[in-house]
Each structure stands twice: as C-alpha cells, then as structure tokens.
Structure 1
C-alpha cells in the first residue's frame, strides 16, 4: 500500500486526474516529418554527382563563350562583370541544393521556401543577366550549335517555350501546383517528385527571366510589355505569400509551426519585391534631364502663356 500523501499513477486525487506528461505531437505530422527527412537525405546523396556535373558543364560552356568573344577583340561584350554574375548564379544553385540549407529545408518551411526562391528566381535572374547579348549565341560551341540548329523539332519547341504567354503559364503551373499541400508533401516524401519540383522551378525561372531581360534581343516584348510582365509575375507570388502569412493553421503536414509558415511567406514576399522591384525600376522609362543652360532657350522657343 502506498504511504499517506503519496500519489499513484492513474488514480484520482481531489477529484482531478493527474497529468503524467504533455500530449505528443500528432502521429501524422511526426511521420510526415520523418519521411521527409529520410527522403531528403537520399535525395542529397543520389543527386550530388548530377548537380556537380551540371554546374561544371554550365561553367565550361560559359568559359568557352567568354574566351571566344574576347579572342575576337570584343571584351566589351564579355566583361569580367558578366563572368562574376554567371559564377555567382551557379554558386547560388550549389548553396541551395548542396549546403546545410538543403537539410534545413526538410525541417522548416521557411528553409524550403528560401531554397525555392534561390533556384527558381535569384539564380535564373543572375544567369540570364550574365548571358545577355552575343554571349547567348556563343554559349554552345560551333559544332554543337550547327547540329542543334538542324533539328527542326527542337527549334520549334524552343520557339514555343520562349513565347511570353507560354513562359508565364509554365511559371504559374510550377508555382501553383507544387504549393498545393498534397503535392508539396508528396514531393518531400518522394525523391523523384522532389527532383521534378526543383527542375520545374528552375526551368520556369529561366523562361520568365528571358522575357524580362531579353538576352537574345528578340524584342517580342517592348519595355512597357516587360514591365507589365513583371507585374503579372508579382501578383500571384504575393497572393501565395499572403496565404502563408495569414493562415492561422499549418497548411502542410510536414511542417507544424505556424510561425515558421509565416516566415516562409515573408521570405517569398521580400525576395519577389526585391528582384521584380529592381527589374521594374530598371524598365521604367527615364525622363530626360534638361541641362540648366538650355532651359532658358526652351522657354524662349515655347513660351508659357498665362490666361488673364
């Protein structure tokens, strides 16, 4: 028999049940987090050679284009600022996919959102800006370019993908579909789906930044058209950010923190406002400044008449 005053587990004392421990997190969320972390580890190990090889191939293509233009006496078209931007873009992809950020993305939605905006917006913007002008056409070696140019189907596909409406539709599908909770959680738990998610974000990012920067000078969109395109990209992103910021409950089974979900929305809001805002500021028409010495002449030629 227990001593006087000693509490026994499972017994009632004073009409109130004794609380032995705090309730555990729901098994569904805990299981989803464990599956996501395991899938993330497999994803990292399996894709490391592919990511490194892809980055090395991109750098090799840029180096030969850079060297060919400079050998032709056009360092103005292949400046070291372009090289710095391209290397920075590749480095950002590496940081997003190969650094501790990749492991953090499996535990926190804010880390996953940061990873997505880096590979889907920041890196594509830097790469496309670095390649604007003749560097775009020199990116493939002459022999490879000739063979690729002979494939009519590939040319047609590329022309179709570079249409503004198609690029915007692909970007919207990537943004919208992968952030549906069911698809998002599925990608976290399945490596191949996670690969497809990252690849679609980067592809969509490259396509829309090609519209904004127009590296090949195709002039499909004028300055005002590109400004409108940037605004069209900004609105859906802010809608998603607003949903993440305003939801009072976790939207994804793999992440249980509402505060972290709000931080993810803030990451997207700030990044889009910065990148697309800078692009829009660059595209805004510049009002020519009239030199001080010419203002008097302008007033003499075009006098302002004030009605009585």
Structure 2
C-alpha cells in the first residue's frame, strides 16, 4: 500500500528524531550554562516538561510508530495526538523562548522580541486565530479528502505533521503559555477559547465515529471508529492537562497578588 510513502517511513524517522535530540541537548546546555552563570537557577520542572515534550515527538517519529500510523488509522491518530496535542502542552511549559532570550546577547534578544511583537505575529498567536488553525485544521483533514491524499502524497503527508505540531504549539502557548510578549488576552477570553476548543474537538470525534469518516481510505469502518474513539478520549486528556496548567497559573497568580497585598499592608503598619 503506497510503496513510496512506506519507503519514506523507513528512513524518514532519522531526521525528526535527530532534530529532537539536538534541540534537547541545546536546551539543557542553555539551561545549565547561560542561566547559572548569571546566578539564576533554571527550574528543574521546566526542563522536565520540555524533555517530556521532545520525547513524545521522538516517539512519534520512530519507525514502529510511523509504520503503524501508515497501515492503521488508529496508529495515525496516536501519532497525531502525540505531535499535535500532548507534546505541545509540555513543550510550552518548558518556556523555551524565555530560555532562548536569556541565552542571547542583549542586542540579539531585542531583535527577537521585536519580531515577536510584530502585528502579524500578534494576530496569528491570538487565541481565536490559534483555535481556528488548530481545531479548524483537524476538521479540514478529516472531513475532506485531504487525509486520504496524505496517504499517497509525501509532501502532504509531512505538511500535515508540521501543521499539527505548529498549530498545536501555538494554541497551547496562546492559552497557557507563561511567556508573555506584548499585551496578553484576558483570562475570560482564553478560558472561553479553551472550552470552545475542547467542545469542538469532542464533537469532531463523535461526528467521525457516527459517520465513519474520513472517506476514501483503505481502512475498515471498525478501524475508523476506533480511531475516532481514541481522538475523543485521549484528546480530552490532553486538553484537561492544558486546562489544569491554565487554571493553576490563574490560582498561582491570584495567590501571588494577595501575598503582595499582605506584605504591603504590613509595611504600612510599621
């Protein structure tokens, strides 16, 4: 079945896994050298989260996973969940952008920040835009012939993976990212977008199950329904983790503000 794509899956894993390993090493070196040299300690949980995310990406690119994803739509769904949902959540919590900026010289850091504060970047990273790119991309893939095309077209196959990762990362960053560049959308707006995303993703899973979608694939109806179930249940788990980080930050922020108010009051009493 689609011999050309099969050949790609045998050797295609080398590049993504190697990139994941190199990025992980660079991240750890930057955390150990750039920050500790300035007297700051990089929180270990951030490194742990980042490595968890990179590990998930590496697993998604291993030959057994890639072959499973090509021959079984359930394998594709597992790969999609790793690349587009679970890995981005943990990578975002590793705050790699903060580490990058702290590791650069002041001039280079200002240049990067200038790019990130560009109006176009701000527009595409807005929670609503990120939602449309992320969840909208899923609807486009599974409710049109695009998924069937990805099974036989190498470019589309890889483009889908890249889009899922970038859109997933952007969505997670817009909701629960701890790196704020420019004006941050309000908590109510981000909460609303988060819950709309959860509902839209759950609806897609149910719709695929009920209508045996996507069409035009060599997979049986039973296999497609198993994949839809995996999307529904495991997707919910990834979104619950994202929601937990989101509300944890809100609670921690409220606690920090209240603590500062108490300290200010104590200073006034002296």
State the TM-score, normalizing by the size of structure 1.
0.71
**2:82, 2:236 → 1: CA distance?**
14
State which of 67, 87, 96 in structure 1 corresponds to 2:60: 96
Cα drift, residue 205 of structure 1: 0.4
Q: For the structure 1 residues 271 and 148, does the alpha-carbon distance in structure 2 shift closer, same or farther, using more than 3 Å as the test? A: same
Q: 2:152 matched to 1:186?
A: no
Answering whether residue 163 of structure 2 is matched by residue 200 of structure 1, we say: yes
Deviation at 1:236, TM superposition (A): 1.7
Q: Shift of the alpha carbon at 1:191?
A: 0.8
Q: 2:75 aligns with which of 111, 124, 128?
A: 111
Q: What is the CA deviation profile of residues 98-133 of structure 1, one whole-angstrom value per residue up to 9, with x for unaligned ones? A: 241110111111110110011001001010011179
Structure 1's unaligned 5+ residue stretches are 1-33, 289-308
User: In the alignment, which residue of structure 2 is the partner of 1:54?
Assistant: 19
TM-score, normalised on structure 2?
0.80
Richer in helix (by share): 2
* 1:68-119 CA-partner distances (Å, limit 9, x unpaired): 22222222xx222221221111111111122411101111111101100110
User: What is the CA RMSD across the aligned residues, in angstroms?
Assistant: 2.9
- Measured at CA, do residues 214 and 84 of structure 1 come closer, stay the same or move farther in structure 2, by a change above 3 Å? closer
Q: In 2 relative to 1, CA 53–141 (structure 1 residues): closer, same or farther, beyond 3 Å?
A: farther
Work out the CA distance in 1 between the residues paired with 2:10 and 2:204.
27
Alpha-carbon distance, 1:153 to partner = 9.5
Q: Which residue of 1 aligns with 2:86?
A: 122
Aligned partners of 1:59, 1:144: CA distance in 2, in Å? 22
- Cross-structure match for 1:256: 219
Contact 2:9 2:67 in 1 (8 A): no
2:125 is the alignment partner of 1:162: yes
Give 1 or 2 for the bigger CA radius of gyration. 1
Q: After superposing the two structures, state which structure 1 stretch, 178-187 or 154-163, moved more.
A: 154-163
Stretches of 4+ aligned residues off by more than 6 angstroms: none
**Ranges in structure 2 where 5+ consecutive residues have no aligned partner:** 255-270
Counterpart Cα distance in 2 of 1:139 and 1:195? 31
Count residues in correspondence.
249
